[in-house]
Amino acid sequence: MHTESTEMYLITVYRLTRQSPHASTKDVAAMLGVSAPSASERIKRLTAQGYLNHEWREGTTLTAEGERIALNVLRKHRLAETFLVNMAGYALDEIHEEACHMEHAISDRLADRLEALLGYPKLDPHGHPIPTKEGTVTVLSYPTLAEMSAGQSLTVQQITDWDEAQLSYLCELGLIPGAKLVIQEIAPFDGPMTLLINDKTVALAQNLAQSVYVQVRQP
């Protein structure tokens, strides 16, 4: 049994290394809300325990054992999110923090029961793949909304769920998985995008458009 703190560090490194080859100590500390010296010390201990690889100039990655643990926690997190939306009536922007608490308390046995109860879902409510019991995860690759052009018709496939305030705003606009939209206009010089979402016109900043992943559809 691993401590909640150990699991938090491993899943944080996992999430950061989905975006770049290595996780910096600074980014790990920022995501966990701890000081850089505290994160550095913990990373050293987890490296000594065989869960992390750490090179001073390169940053941190997971070992095979560290990744196994991180994916197990991630499976429980995404199953918990799916349960909260499908069975408990939570809104999409209310589930991340709740699931963060639940992921450390759910046993492997309960995770198996939850998966069966939910009908063996492949994706969580934010559109992210749920790791299997065996520790494999499907890699989904979609372009971001920011990469698309004016006039394109799109379907939202996935949204980033790390920032609660940002997630709440995207949900308020209707930018959730399954939503259909058309890019009406893109202002120059990184100006906002004007979108038609389910017959409602909204403006979205370019930096937020980078957190929405889409698929092109026929108009």
Residue at which a domain ends, from 23, 39, 62: 62
Percent of the chain with pLDDT over 70: 99
What's the confidence (pLDDT) of residue 123?
A: 97
pLDDT score for 219: 60
Distances from the Cα of 213 to the Cα of 30, 38, 141, 151, angstroms: 24, 34, 9, 17
Looking at every residue in the chain, the average pLDDT score rounds to 94
CA distances from 18 to 11, 35, 61, 62 (A): 11, 23, 10, 11
State phi, psi for 39 to the nearest 5 degrees: -65, -40
Q: Minimal CA–CA distance to 2: which of 72, 54, 95?
A: 72
Give 85 or 218, the one with higher predicted confidence.
85
Query: Computed over its alpha carbons, how large is the radius of gyration of the chain?
Result: 19
- Quickly count: other Cβ atoms within 10 Å of residue 187's Cβ: 12
Per the structure, how many domains does the chain have? 2
- Mean pLDDT confidence for 44-66: 94
Question: What's the N-to-C CA distance of the chain in angstroms?
Answer: 51
Query: Residue 137 domain-assigned?
Result: no
Q: What is the CATH number of the domain that holds 176?
A: 2.30.30.90
Q: Is 168 within a domain? A: yes
pLDDT at 3 over 70: yes
Residue 116 belongs to some domain of the structure: no
Mean pLDDT for 73-94 is 95
- Largest CA-CA distance found in the chain, in angstroms, rounded: 55
Alpha helices by DSSP H, the chain: 4-16, 25-32, 36-48, 64-86, 95-102, 108-117, 164-173, 206-209
- What local confidence, expressed as pLDDT, does residue 45 receive? 96
What's the CA gap between 104 and 11, in Å, rounded?
11
In this structure, is residue 27 part of a structural domain? yes
The tokens for 191 are 């100006």
| Other beta carbons less than 10 A from residue 31's beta carbon | 18
Q: DSSP readout, 74-110?
A: HHHHHHHHHHHHHTT---GGGHHHHHHHHTTT--HHH
CATH number at residue 32: 1.10.10.10
Tokens, residue 162: 């790390």
pLDDT of residue 55: 87
- What range defines the domain where residue 44 resides? 4-62
Q: Residue 9: inside a domain, yes or no?
A: yes
pLDDT at 202 over 80: yes
Does a structural domain hold residue 54? yes
The whole-number average pLDDT for the span 66-92 is 96
* Final residue before a domain boundary, out of 12, 39, 62: 62
85 has a pLDDT exceeding 80: yes
Q: Is residue 179 part of a domain?
A: yes
Using 50, 70 and 90 to split pLDDT, how confident is the model at 214? very high
Residue 204, helix vs strand vs coil = strand
Question: What's the pLDDT at 57?
Answer: 80
What local confidence, expressed as pLDDT, does residue 142 receive?
95
Residue 77 lies in a domain: no
| Helix, strand or coil, per DSSP, at residue 154 | strand
Give the mean model confidence (pLDDT) for residues 160-166. Answer: 85
pLDDT at 161: 84
Average pLDDT value for residue range 200-211: 94
Where does a domain end: 45, 62, 79?
62
- Residue 187's pLDDT band, with cuts at 50, 70 and 90, is very high
